[in-house]
Amino acid sequence: MPQTSTSLPRRRLLTGSASALAAVGLASFQSHALAQAAPAAAPAAKPLPGFASFKNADAVIVHSSTTIETKRSAFGTSVITPSNQLYVRNNLPTPPESIVADRDAWQVQIAGVKQPRQLTVRELKSMGLETVTMVLQCSGNGRGFFPSKPSGTQWTVGAAGCVVWSGVPVREVVKALGGVADGLAYMTGTGGEVLPAGLDPKSVIVERSVPVAAMQDALLAWEMNGEPISLAHGGPLRLIVPGYTGVNNIKYIKQLAFTAKESEAHIMSHGYRISPPGSKGDPSQPSVQEMSVKSWINSPLPEDGAQAPGLVQIHGVAFGGMNGIKGVEVSTDGGKTWKAARLVGPDMGKYAWRQFVLQAQLPKGSHVLASRATDDKGNVQPETRGENQSGYNNTSWADHAVTVNVA
Amino acid sequence: MPQTSTSLPRRRLLTGSASALAAVGLASFQSHALAQAAPAAAPAAKPLPGFASFKNADAVIVHSSTTIETKRSAFGTSVITPSNQLYVRNNLPTPPESIVADRDAWQVQIAGVKQPRQLTVRELKSMGLETVTMVLQCSGNGRGFFPSKPSGTQWTVGAAGCVVWSGVPVREVVKALGGVADGLAYMTGTGGEVLPAGLDPKSVIVERSVPVAAMQDALLAWEMNGEPISLAHGGPLRLIVPGYTGVNNIKYIKQLAFTAKESEAHIMSHGYRISPPGSKGDPSQPSVQEMSVKSWINSPLPEDGAQAPGLVQIHGVAFGGMNGIKGVEVSTDGGKTWKAARLVGPDMGKYAWRQFVLQAQLPKGSHVLASRATDDKGNVQPETRGENQSGYNNTSWADHAVTVNVA
């Protein structure tokens, strides 16, 4: 198992988790811990897993049976990422198809409200309706650009997409149940995955807490991109917390609880923490939650081969996490000089990404193309990544730059 | 062949066309003329044709190998219609897959400009980039509601969808080629379908003219909903004329010409005309081009079965054709009284549709649900359809009403 000199304490922890999983016959099982323990694999053409067989194999990179990335070259300029190209990252094995056989019968327990209740999707559908477009991005998107080679899936840009969700606003459900019980500061979602036997449930269950304020824009969603949410993406019901990284958007949600404290599940208490390099995750460190301003170029790319000299439309995507996008600059000289790009296509709200384009003349030679976004609060995408042990939240424009040849 | 007493002159014409097609071995061939001559078939589960095998069979009605409708119950609330649910209506057999083998090599002739040129898709991609969301709707959508039972596909609401297109603005291409030559009033697009041998090309070619002003928002598009345009939807290159009915959006476009007169192709001169009942199409009648304000309800529907009494979210779609949507009213009593619905989800521009929702209490009984949209120019969706021989442009809110039972 490859390791750096800084990873020893982490490795001891992970080896323990992996052994526990192996002991219960889940050697191929993708808990957060095991995904992190696996060596970084070189991209290879693996088959699509059955639950994701609807994906376009030409548009994705299959890292493992639970981690599938959109190819950078497959992001078009249509704002919305089609479902068959959207990334997948599951922390547990996908539940059986039977849970989407009668979608409206799926039940979710609403707790920590004045009148707690079990509600079916059928009931939720009568309680309200909203549609939100948002960037869904894995916390580890961009991990592959960390020179420290953190363990875990080596995502570059494609563990992200912009998708449309429909469902009932959480605030409407809460209002109908009398409001949040007094003094509860967190909204905690619990996934409905089948937990492997023989392990402490807390060590594997997908349960995440976000500040209660995130309730305002959150949905209990049953539709994605115009279709009932597929099993791959969390159907029949998923908690959508706009602006928060993927893991906070609980799939197959079976409980939505307002709680006094954050969940004690391992995935919350120790997983997805911004840990200093060489340290392991603990509850004192910042949790990976709200996304920050970020952009990248999707065309041209080195994999397109040499470009002919002349006019080129440099395009890509930009998003602000919790904020809308004010503008994007593009550099064709590795960041020495910048020009304002043009935003194209519809603005689908502050949680969506924008497409940007800069028309440029590229003479013969090698060109380092970079993009740098500014959100509507004035936050500018940084040049450098924030170093952390697990390779989370990489927003560095330098890391996302591409070098193209014009010949 | 069923016919009404008013259809005799038309029938004579069509019988001639159908015989001509049969003579060249194209008995199953779906020219405009033949589709109109075919008797209205009861919906039946036909297999998806090969070129449309990516469609979700559960979400569509296959009328024929070239006419596929989205089920009313399949329209969700996510604004964008996913590609695998979008309707298909081809006027000629689909070209071979070989034309999308090297998409960038596809050529289009630009004529009627000061410097006419043949351009490849590769060249077009360097010339500009824009993204537009628009309602694509077949001219005959709603034909199935005409009591006169016009011949042709009996579409109800599903020969429409809202999709995202990316390509180069036509105005940019024209500008690069010196501008439109003097005195040319039309923009005429010609499809690249293989024409059946033995017929006068003008009788079958797909070639349509629109006023030159439509150039301003038109695209030569290579991408739909984030993917290269499928063969089913006109790839590798399609002319997109926002606000105009489907037939004006030329698939597999091989020539874009600015012309002094409208095309003399039959599909332009006699097809797609608003003909008085009992008459046949001729060039003196209005052509089916710009769409008008329209809406319909997608949930609840009679096919959902009896509803439980109580709160229901009545939702549907509304669009203004050339204009944005100002508002939508919903009636639960067949149009006697109306309430303002709420517009939900992102506004993707004036050519896109909006989702609307009205929360209503429905007691036990039978309820006639209707929606009525108003565009931002103040045009109100009419109660009645405009009668015409071929069943085009049905925007009647009464025709689109649904009756649901609450028990």
> Is B82's CB within 8 Å of A226's CB?
yes
Closest CA to B18 of B35, B39, B42, B40: B35
| pLDDT at residue B173 greater than cutoff 80 | yes
> Is B127's CB within 8 Å of A315's CB?
no
Angle (nearest 5°) at CA B224 between A367 and B204? 125
The residue of B227, B299, B347 whose CB has the most chain A CBs within 10 angstroms, and thus the best one to mutate to test that interface, is B227
Contact A64, A30 (CB under 8 A): yes
Instruction: Tell me what the mean pLDDT of segment A56-61 comes to.
Output: 97
Identity of the residue in A82, A225, A311 whose CB atom sits nearest the CB atom of B227: A82
Sheet holding A67-70, edge to edge: A60-64, A67-70, A88-89
Question: What confidence tier does B44 reach under pLDDT thresholds 50, 70, 90?
Answer: low
What is the structure's pLDDT at A7?
29
Instruction: Tell me what the mean pLDDT of segment A60-73 comes to.
Output: 97
What is the structure's pLDDT at B19?
33
Instruction: Tell me what the mean pLDDT of segment B124-135 comes to.
Output: 97
Q: Which residues of A touch B78 (CB under 8 A)?
A: 131, 164-166, 223-227
> Is A133's CB within 8 Å of B311's CB?
no
Closest CA to B129 of A360, A88, A117: A360
CA nearest to A345 within chain B = B131
Identity of the residue in A59, A131, A346 whose CB atom sits nearest the CB atom of B78: A131
The residue of A77, A229, A406 whose CB has the most chain B CBs within 10 angstroms, and thus the best one to mutate to test that interface, is A77
Q: Which residues of B touch A348 (CB under 8 A)?
A: 346, 348
Sequence-ordered list of residues with C-beta below 8 angstroms from that of B323, at least 6 positions apart, any chain: B293, B350, B375, B376, B377, B379
Closest CA to B317 of A120, A166, A350, A221: A166
Q: Which residues of A touch B81 (CB under 8 A)?
A: 226
CA nearest to A352 within chain B = B346
Contact B77, A128 (CB under 8 A): no
CA nearest to B362 within chain A = A126
Q: Minimal Cα–Cα distance from B275 to chain A, Å? A: 36
Q: Which residues of B touch A165 (CB under 8 A)?
A: 78
What's the N-to-C CA distance of chain B in angstroms?
42
| pLDDT at residue A9 greater than cutoff 80 | no
Contact A277, A235 (CB under 8 A): no
Name the region of A31 (left: φ>0; alpha: ψ -120 to 50; beta: rest).
Answer: beta
What is the structure's pLDDT at A12?
30
A259-290 pLDDT tens trace: 999 999 999 999 999 999 999 999 999 999 99
B221-270 pLDDT tens trace: 999 999 999 999 999 999 999 999 999 999 999 999 999 999 999 999 99
Q: Which residues of A touch B128 (CB under 8 A)?
A: 313, 359
Q: Which residues of A touch B75 (CB under 8 A)?
A: 226
> Is A77's CB within 8 Å of B359's CB?
no
Angle (nearest 5°) at CA B307 between B305 and B308? 145
| pLDDT at residue A2 greater than cutoff 60 | no
Q: Which residues of A touch B242 (CB under 8 A)?
A: none
The residue of A87, A129, A233, A299 whose CB has the most chain B CBs within 10 angstroms, and thus the best one to mutate to test that interface, is A129
Identity of the residue in B79, B133, B310 whose CB atom sits nearest the CB atom of A126: B310
Q: What is the percent of chain A where pLDDT is above 70?
A: 89
| pLDDT at residue A4 greater than cutoff 80 | no
Question: What confidence tier does A183 reach under pLDDT thresholds 50, 70, 90?
Answer: very high
Question: What confidence tier does A45 reach under pLDDT thresholds 50, 70, 90?
Answer: confident
What is the structure's pLDDT at A168?
98
**Amino acid identity, residue B244?**
Y
Q: Which residues of B touch A349 (CB under 8 A)?
A: 346
Q: Minimal Cα–Cα distance from A171 to chain B, Å? A: 16
Q: Minimal Cα–Cα distance from B210 to chain A, Å? A: 24
Question: What confidence tier does B307 reach under pLDDT thresholds 50, 70, 90?
Answer: confident
Distance of CA B8 to CAs A207, A260, B11, B266, B350, Å? Answer: 70, 77, 5, 19, 41
What is the structure's pLDDT at A258?
98
H helices within B145-290, ranges in order?
170-176, 201-204, 266-269
> Is B164's CB within 8 Å of A79's CB?
yes
B193-219 pLDDT tens trace: 999 999 999 999 999 999 999 999 999
| pLDDT at residue B34 greater than cutoff 70 | no
Q: Which residues of B touch A357 (CB under 8 A)?
A: 129
Question: What confidence tier does A44 reach under pLDDT thresholds 50, 70, 90?
Answer: low
CA nearest to B228 within chain A = A76
Other Cβ atoms less than 10 A from the Cβ of A215: the count is: 19
Identity of the residue in B81, B312, B359 whose CB atom sits nearest the CB atom of A226: B81
CA nearest to A81 within chain B = B226
Instruction: Tell me what the mean pLDDT of segment B165-183 comes to.
Output: 98
Q: β-pairing, B227-228 with B238-240?
A: unpaired
Instruction: Tell me what the mean pLDDT of segment A307-331 comes to.
Output: 96
| pLDDT at residue A375 greater than cutoff 90 | yes
Q: Minimal Cα–Cα distance from A394 to chain B, Å? A: 25
**Amino acid identity, residue A22?**
A
SS3 content of chain A, % helix, strand, coil (to 5): 20, 30, 45
Distance of CA B272 to CAs B138, B200, B382, Å? Answer: 10, 19, 21
A191-248 pLDDT tens trace: 999 999 999 999 999 999 999 999 999 999 999 999 999 999 999 999 999 999 999 9
